[in-house]
Amino acid sequence: KAGVTQTPRYLIKTRGQQVTLSCSPISGHRSVSWYQQTPGQGLQFLFEYFSETQRNKGNFPGRFSGRQFSNSRSEMNVSTLELGDSALYLCASSPVPGQGIGLWWTEAFFGQGTRLTVV
Amino acid sequence: SQQGEEDPQALSIQEGENATMNCSYKTSINNLQWYRQNSGRGLVHLILIRSNEREKHSGRLRVTLDTSKKSSSLLITASRAADTASYFCATVSPSGSARQLTFGSGTQLTVLP
């Protein structure tokens, strides 16, 4: 099975611009989550999508948004980029929704990330 | 925000030695997971331990969980140079989704050949 694919791998953007990152989950996985990793704040949860609906959201401003398509692929968008948005953005997919307590105990499969640099 | 701290922040050992990393967290959990990250790349899942389990093994990995102390440890036995990476613990809250992980600050492990 192919792993989680994130594109592009690297991006350089200017302050004020917007950016869209893409994530293709493992085939059959319907849940996609996004994380931001920075040296100062570490790994922080952005949001999670399942069945094209945002299920959970972390503590990030509204400039960060996302969506999921019917094939489970997901995109995240950051508008009006700031220098502090420079980070590694990681996408993770999971196989099943948490419909029952046993099903919650699943691991996440991460992509290689998109390194965003804002200048 | 991060769930807790890991210590040490950095650990350097010789090949063949054992490496122990500790993770503390602040709130109740459903399960705790350990991940490895090589040099700014994606995270790889290592092991998951449920809140009602105390110890789990997977190959050269041994994880313990003490929910009364809100802490966990990861032991890597007979370390190899290829184990050099950052190691993160991540928790899932009892009411939360398995797909919302709250990460610790990480331990940078260096295994010297």
Least confident of A57-71, A98-112, B30-44, B99-113: A98-112
Q: Is there a contact between A13 and A80 (Cβ–Cβ < 8 Å)?
A: no
Strand pairing report for A87-94 and A31-38: antiparallel
Q: Is there a contact between B90 and B103 (Cβ–Cβ < 8 Å)?
A: yes
Confidence of residue B98 (pLDDT cuts 50, 70, 90): low
- Torsion angles phi and psi, residue B16, rounded to 5: 95, -20
* Interval B83-93 mean pLDDT: 93
* Interval A6-16 mean pLDDT: 97
**Would the CB atoms of A107 and B33 count as touching at under 8 Å?**
yes
Confidence of residue A101 (pLDDT cuts 50, 70, 90): very low
In chain B, residues with a C-beta closer than 8 Å to the C-beta of A31 are 99
In chain B, residues with a C-beta closer than 8 Å to the C-beta of A4 are 42
- Torsion angles phi and psi, residue B82, rounded to 5: -70, -10
Q: What is d(CA B14, CA A75) in angstroms, rounded to the nearest whole number?
A: 42
Query: Could you give the angle at the alpha carbon of B61 between the alpha carbons of B59 and B67, nearest 5°?
Result: 135
> How far does chain A reach from its first CA to its final CA, in angstroms?
37
Give the closest-approach CA distance of B102 to chain A in angstroms: 7
Tens digits of residue pLDDT in B6-61: 889 999 999 999 999 999 999 888 889 999 999 878 999 999 999 999 999 999 99
Instruction: Point out the residue among A48, A88, A105 whose CB comes nearest to the CB of B100.
Output: A48
Query: Could you give the angle at the alpha carbon of B92 between the alpha carbons of B108 and B89, nearest 5°?
Result: 10
Least confident of A15-24, A65-74, A88-97: A88-97
DSSP conformational letter for B27? S
In chain A, residues with a C-beta closer than 8 Å to the C-beta of B35 are 110
Confidence of residue B80 (pLDDT cuts 50, 70, 90): very high
Quick check: helix, strand or coil at residue B75?
Answer: strand
Q: What is d(CA B9, CA A109) in angstroms, rounded to the nearest whole number?
A: 24
Predicted local distance difference test score (pLDDT) of residue A100 = 46
Beta-carbon contacts of A64 under 8 Å, excluding residues fewer than 6 positions away, are: A46, A47, A76, A77, A78
Least confident of A69-78, A97-106, B68-77, B101-110: A97-106
> What average pLDDT is seen over chain B?
91
Give the closest-approach CA distance of B40 to chain A in angstroms: 8
Q: What is d(CA A13, CA A93) in angstroms, rounded to the nearest whole number?
A: 26
Confidence of residue A38 (pLDDT cuts 50, 70, 90): very high
The fraction of chain B above a pLDDT of 70, given in percent, is 92
Structural tokens at position B85: 């990476």
Q: What is d(CA B81, CA B112) in angstroms, rounded to the nearest whole number?
A: 6
Instruction: Point out the residue among B42, B48, B105 whose CB comes nearest to the CB of A42.
Output: B105
Nearest 10 degrees: Cα torsion B104, A49, A108, A105: 90
Q: Check pLDDT > 60 for residue B2.
A: no
